[in-house]
Structure formats: C-alpha cells, structure tokens
Chain A
Amino acid sequence: MTKGYLYTMEVLLTVSMIFIAIIFAFRSAPSKPALEISLIKRDAFSALEYLDNSGNLRPLVYSGKPLDIVEMQIEDLLRAMLTKKVEFEVDICKNSDDCTTENSPENREVIVVDYYLSGYKKSYDFYRVRMYVWKMI
C-alpha cells in the first residue's frame, strides 16, 4: 500500500513537471495577426487624404460653421471608411497648439495623424486636421 502510494506521488510529481513544462513551452503562444499600428496610421491618413481629394474635406473645414460641428461631420464621413475595430476622434486646429486630447482615452495607445490644409477657394487660412485613433478592446 505504501509502495503504491509512493508511485502515485511520483506520478503526481511527474504530472506537475509536465504542467510546468507546458506552461513554459506555451507561455508565449502566437497571437493572431492584429491590426498593426503602422497600418492603422496609414489607413487613417489615406482616409483623410481621400476626403480631401474627393472634395469633401475642405468645404467642411472652411464652411465657417463651428469647428465642433464640422468635426462631427468629418467623423461621420470617416466612419464609413475605417475599420470598425478602431475608434477615433477628429480635432481641427487653426493654430499649432489648439488641438486638444480631451476626448481620447488616457489609458490606451493612441495614434495621432495630422493632415494640413493651406486654403480653399478665397480663404488662405491654415488648418490642421488631427485624428486620434485607438484600437477598440
């Protein structure tokens, strides 16, 4: 009986070692391909560039409407173009230090993309359209 008990203990010890081996072997299991930061940044810039090239961005920015309304309109246009796996916030700044980060999360990795506009039709005012993008959990 004592011998059998010892064998059982040995097996349990072996099992524990196998468990430890498994934990060590698979602790860095391959992660599924995720949205990479560089891709997100590229897509965000492409989306802004597309809006500009298609003639939708400048009429909004230079419309004279309050910038927070314009920002929401631009966000609606961008939402149709970007993957649902990211969240974003648009901020339009007239001066270089006008942009705020108040609506972007503080505890996440946030990607910042800037797109500069130098004028539209009669206006030669400078604007910076800034996008804060972060991955959804």
Chain B
Amino acid sequence: MDYILAIGIFLLMFSVLIVFSANYLQTMKNTLSVSLRRGTATDLLESITSYDSSWNYSNVFSYPSKLGLKTDMYRFFVLVNNSQNYLKNQSGSLTALTNELVEINKTAFGFSFDENSILILDENGNSVGYNISGDNIIFNVNVSINEARWFTVYFDDDSNFTDQTSFVNTSLNNITEVTYPLEKINVIQYKKVYDLNLSNYTAMKSALGLDYDFHIRLYNESGDTFLDYATGYDQSEIPERGNVIALQRPIIYQYASSWKISDIKEGKIVVYVFG
C-alpha cells in the first residue's frame, strides 16, 4: 500500500514537471515569435513613416531599404485684413472687396519647390484657385469691410504634381496682405504612395530585409482604405490564426486626384506582420 502511494505521488509530481516544462517551452516559443514580429512591425512602421531618397516602382533594383513615404511640406499663413490699417491707400475709404488680389513673392522662401504642389486653403478648408505671375503666387479673395481672412498656403519641394493654375483677376489690389513664417510639416507623399502601390511585393520585402509577410493599409478620415499593400492579389489576406501583430499611427497625407493636389487630410496607417 505504501509503495503504491509513493509511486502514485511520484508519478503525479513527474507529470506536473512534464506539463510545466512543456508549457514553459511553448510560452517561450510563442513569446519569442510575438517579440520578433512586434520588432519587425515596429521597424516597418518607422521605415514607412521615415524619409527616403527616390526609388522607382518599375525598377526592383532601386527599391529602398526603408520605405520612407514621408516628405517635408511647407505651410504659412496669409492674413488679408480689410481694415484701414491695411489699405495701400491709407486715405482711401473701406469698401467690400470682390476679387482682391493677393500676391506672395515665392523667391522669399529661399529655395525652389514644385509650383504645381501649391495648395491654398481658406479658413474653412476650401481650396482657392491660384496662378503664378513672375515671382509671385497670386490668388483672389472676397473680403468684407473690417473682415480679416486667413489663408493657409502649402507646397512641397520634391513632388511631381501637374499644373492646376487657374485664372486670377489682377485688376483690384487695395490691401497689403501679411504673410507669416514658413512651418515645415511632414506628410505622407502622394507620389510615394502611388509608387508603393505599383511596386512588386516580393522584391520590396526582400529589399526591406523582412523575414515575415506584411500588410500595409492606409485609411482616410472616414475609415476607408486608400492603400492596401500586401502579398499576392488577395489584398484582404490577413491570417485569422497565428501570431499577427498590428500597429497603427495617425498620419497626414497629400490628397490628390489625377496628380492634382486638392487637400491635406488626416488618416491612419496600420501595419500587420505575420507568417
């Protein structure tokens, strides 16, 4: 009876040891797997939201080691104030102005940029048509008596948008507008998203030096996807089982249609790593 009890207790403890060992090894393996994928996802997210020199989607040998979808954009504010202090003719009287001309000397920035990337937004976020006249960026505004209107001008220094200038009436120029210093902001560039979308996934994965499969999704403000970059043609393919690491970050991106920039929008990027 004692022998049986002793052997029973020993077997029980031995089983416990085996179970513990198996769980330990499994947890170790799983933790390592998750850690590796998390590290890859973090690196990939950093790589996407970094800057990189240009590469061409049609030439796999030019694919970058960092995706670098970001670019520097510049913005500054313009104040158009229809009050006495801002009148060019200080003895003149105030009137509501229609198609008042605003002129901004582009050489004052001190560097060249893509003139087609100019985007002018009024205080309500509506796009304002512009043109280039010599060294000046020009546009028209309507401004009531004693009204102060703010405009935000954006431009990019390394984009390749197409021309979208429009007619600007230059006959009325009563107000001295005020421009404020440039701010540099970083945004996801339209050109780079376009290139990434057309690039070869397998070659890109190799260039990035990734051991795992990945999936990149860019979402707009409404939650709709505007880039779905993944392996093969089934772009919705994210495994439902196994270790899938997903990281996200909010982004600002250039919104354009047919290579004409029309807005700067907010969205988010989500990176999935698996496999």
Contact = CB atoms under 8 A, between A and B. Distances in A.
B5 A15 contact: no
Contact of B35 (A18, A33, A39, A53): A33
Q: How large is the interface on A (under 10, 10 to 19, 20 to 34, 35 or more residues)?
A: 35 or more
A33 B10 contact: no
Nearest to B32: A30
A102 to B, nearest CB: 29
Contacts, number: 77
Interface of A: 4-5, 7-8, 10-12, 14-15, 18-19, 21-22, 25-26, 29-33, 39, 42-43, 46-47, 49-50, 52-55, 81, 119, 121-122
Interface in B231-255: 249-252
Contacts of B13: 14-15, 18-19
Interface stretch (B20-28, B165-173, B201-209): B20-28
B252 A50 contact: yes
A7 B2 contact: yes
B185 interface: yes
A10 B6 contact: yes
A59 B58 CA distance: 43
Interface string B1-17: 11101110110011011
A7 B180 CA distance: 91
A10 B6 CA distance: 8
B2 A33 contact: no
A4 B38 CA distance: 56
B10 A11 contact: yes
